Amino acid sequence: MDFNLLKFLYDDNQKVEPEWYIPIIPMVLVNGAEGIGTGWACKIPNYDPREIVNNINRMLNHQDPLPMVNKDTACLLSHDGCYKNFKGLIHELGHNQYLVSGEVSVIDKNTIEITELPVRTWTQAYKESVLEPMLQGTDKTPALISDYKEYHTDATVKFVVRMSEEKLAQAEAVGLHKVFKLQSSLTCNSMVLFDHMGCLKRYDSVQDILKEFFELRLHYYKLRKDWLLGSLGAEASKLSNQARFVLEKIEGKISIATAKKVKKRNPWSDDESKSDSDLEDNEPIIPRETKSQRASGRTVTKTQARSSPPTPAAQRLTKYRQQRKKPQKPPSDDEDEDEEDDDNSLSTARAPSRDRPGRARKEVKYYHDSENEEDDDDMFD
């Protein structure tokens, strides 16, 4: 729904994901965040989506959000809300400081059972870093347990640890959670996030993150409403115009099928209102002359072939072509006497130019007609 409002990125001229998404609730509080950057560190715990939704509803009713802390159990959230299927406890130590504890119980004098690990502690990592050193021992500390077995499932953790009665009593005196490292601290003093402008911002509390997200989400709801109103309004206007067109066509107010085509004016016609089709019917166009016609000085036009008189434009064109042609100078008597000795002699004359006026005329060669036709045949043989 909000894709038309977001700013998308481009990779190799291809449209990819937007700069940031805007869900209906702040997912950074649901999923949590933890990391270290250049000069900044961020650590945000997970919060129950139901508590987040309740606080958003309170802000919609112009009420302040409540701290997302369960006062009865001194936990951030309910046991199955903050971290799904988590059976331990999260105790509040101070402002934005919490203590996360797993679950451990004594089965008999020599056996204990671990059924929950601290938040964000993996089973394999706990086994390799805690139980194995206790079983093997080190140069400074002797072995604390004698054996352990694993009975895990895909959703639960279960370690059964066996140890001597004396060492179990000592562990109980110190504290089983402390001895078996089933406690971890959780602080919310370094909540640094990017805002909607892409700038780093530090938040003092979870309520500050929730309030800023609420204002931004409400603003984009208004933008979405305006976009939908504009889109639906354009679609309604289009359908209304289509319906109006059909009605006016039925009523005969508009006529499209009988509309005449706009004709182009022929540049050879004196009448500017006439088109090419009109000229073809009444005023023939002067065709171009062929090379043989120009060499012989003869001009054949469509006007001569038709009975209709030529148009003023055709007359002007014919007059212009006649002015370009100049008659050849007749040969003198002296030239005739010199040329009688050699009937096959060649002479040059200026031929009428086939180019525009002002250009140099080309020289062409031709044969004089001889008195004896047999000589002409011998020459060409």
Q: What is the CATH number of the domain that holds 141?
A: 3.30.1360.40
Q: Residue 264: which pLDDT band, with cuts at 50, 70 and 90?
A: low
**Does any domain span residue 218?**
yes
Secondary structure of residue 183 in the 3-state scheme: strand
Q: Is the pLDDT of residue 125 over 70?
A: yes
Summarize the confidence of residues 145-154 as an average pLDDT.
Answer: 91
Average pLDDT of every residue of the chain: 76
Choose the weakest-confidence range: 90-94, 184-188, 377-381: 377-381
The reply to whether 167 and 283 lie within a common domain is no
- Among the listed residues 270, 268, 266, 264, the one whose alpha carbon sits nearest the alpha carbon of residue 288: 268
**Does any domain span residue 269?**
yes
The reply to whether 159 and 219 lie within a common domain is no
The reply to whether 142 and 275 lie within a common domain is no
The reply to whether 38 and 68 lie within a common domain is yes
**Does any domain span residue 364?**
no
Q: What is d(CA 208, CA 189) in angstroms, rounded to the nearest whole number?
A: 13
Token digits of residue 325: 């042609």
Whole-structure pTM value: 0.55
Render pLDDT for 173-183 as a digit per residue (tens, 0 to 9). 999 999 999 99
Q: Is the pLDDT of residue 263 over 80?
A: no
The reply to whether 11 and 61 lie within a common domain is yes
pLDDT given at position 253: 87
DSSP string of 281-331, one letter each residue: HHSPPPPPPPHHHHHHT----HHHHSSSPPPHHHHHHHHHHHHH--PPPPP
**Does any domain span residue 21?**
yes
Summarize the confidence of residues 272-300 as an average pLDDT.
Answer: 51
Q: Is the pLDDT of residue 242 over 80?
A: yes
Render pLDDT for 289-346 as a digit per residue (tens, 0 to 9). 555 555 565 555 544 545 566 777 778 778 877 777 655 555 555 555 555 554 444 4
The reply to whether 144 and 3 lie within a common domain is no
Contact in structure between 254 and 248 (CB atoms under 8 Å): yes
Provide the residue type at 38 as one letter.
T
Percent of the chain with pLDDT over 90: 31
**Does any domain span residue 348?**
no
Q: Residue 266: which pLDDT band, with cuts at 50, 70 and 90?
A: low
The reply to whether 191 and 323 lie within a common domain is no
Q: Is the pLDDT of residue 138 over 70?
A: yes
Provide the domain limits for residue 112.
103-181
pLDDT given at position 147: 92
The reply to whether 173 and 62 lie within a common domain is no
Measured CA angle at 241 (ends 236, 244), to 5 deg: 125
The reply to whether 115 and 97 lie within a common domain is no
Choose the weakest-confidence range: 3-17, 169-183, 190-204, 307-321: 307-321
Summarize the confidence of residues 348-377 as an average pLDDT.
Answer: 47
The reply to whether 306 and 317 lie within a common domain is yes
**Does any domain span residue 72?**
yes
**Does any domain span residue 133?**
yes
Question: Which of 159, 181, 203 is the C-terminal boundary of a domain?
Answer: 181
The reply to whether 225 and 164 lie within a common domain is no
Better pLDDT: 299 or 114: 114
The reply to whether 135 and 263 lie within a common domain is no
Better pLDDT: 347 or 3: 3
Question: Which of 328, 354, 375 is the C-terminal boundary of a domain?
Answer: 328
For the chain, the domain total comes to 3
Q: What is d(CA 178, CA 184) in angstroms, rounded to the nearest whole number?
A: 10
- Among the listed residues 373, 348, 376, 374, the one whose alpha carbon sits nearest the alpha carbon of residue 362: 348
**Does any domain span residue 356?**
no
What CATH number has the domain bearing residue 209?
Answer: 3.90.199.10
Choose the weakest-confidence range: 7-21, 68-82, 134-148, 292-306: 68-82
Q: What is d(CA 186, CA 5) in angstroms, rounded to the nearest whole number?
A: 37
